[in-house]
Amino acid sequence: MFKYIPLLTACCLASCMVGPDFQRPANDLPASWAAAKPPHSTDQDLRSWWRIFGDPQLNRLVSTSLNNNPDMKVALLRIREARERLRISQASLLPSADASAGWSLSPDRGFRSSTSQDFTLGASTSWELDLFGGDRRSIEAYRASLMSTEASACAVRTSLLADVATAYFNWITACEQLRIAREQLEIQRGTLTIAEKRHTAGFAPRLDVEQATSSVAATESHIPALIAQVASAKPAFRPARHLQLTHGTDHAESSRL
């Protein structure tokens, strides 16, 4: 009976782990949100929310940003690094195997004109018992680090897409404002022409001409600022309405975040 005492002791030690178990902190949050998702939407729709606008130019900009943004590339590399660390730490609980092989050629001492060949082949396995749970605690730590890295990458992705969409819609707004201002200027110029003709014919006072002239001047002074606003964004957002983009062009890793 006493010969089983070491084995029982090892089993008891193996069931113990260093340090207390992680306890998730309590959050005073509601169980669900009233309008967490739009009607008939899925998680994939929320990850590709910009596609609901049906704008090929916006799709191209988002795809280019996800594939070429330096911060996004660094975030994805950190995820890969964290996953490799977790995989290596998990391997510490598995048995390890080692194999060796050798070959040698030496002259036969009994016969001068002959040689002998020696082949050697060996293999060994080993397994280290995680008595106090140090390796398992390391795995838990690396898994938590991976989750934190993925959350950080998701935050980078969200911020990037928000910046791209905001800049794109600001550019569209500036273009529309410029178009409306130019149309308004043409209408005001027509009104000025009519006012001048009516004043010349004696059907309208000089005040109507002055008011029409003032409106034209005000609109003309506003147009250069709109042109400058559109021009400053034009290099990054070139019109590409003719592009036919396919779904799934985003970076494969970032699309899963």
Q: What is the 3-state secondary structure (H, E, C) of 145-203?
A: HHHHHHHHHHHHHHHHHHHHHHHHHHHHHHHHHHHHHHHHHHHHHHHHHHHHHHHHHCC
CA distance 251 to 257: 10
SS3 4: helix
Rank 129-133, 135-139, 240-244 by mean pLDDT and report only the highest. 135-139
Q: How confident is the model at residue 25 (pLDDT cuts 50, 70, 90)?
A: confident
pTM: 0.59
Identify the weakest region by mean pLDDT among 97-101, 154-158, 169-173, 200-204: 97-101
CA distance 117 to 103: 7
The 10s digit of each residue's pLDDT in 170-196 is 888 999 999 999 999 999 999 999 999
Burial class for 62, CB neighbours closer than 10 Å (0-12, 13-18, 19+): buried
The 10s digit of each residue's pLDDT in 35-74 is 555 556 565 666 788 888 888 888 888 888 888 888 888 8
Average pLDDT, the chain: 75
| CA-CA-CA-CA torsion sign (89, 90, 91, 94) | positive
The 10s digit of each residue's pLDDT in 226-250 is 999 888 876 555 444 333 333 333 4
Amino acid at 217: A
Residue 216 pLDDT: 94
Q: DSSP for 230-253?
A: HHHHTTTS---TT----TT-S-TT
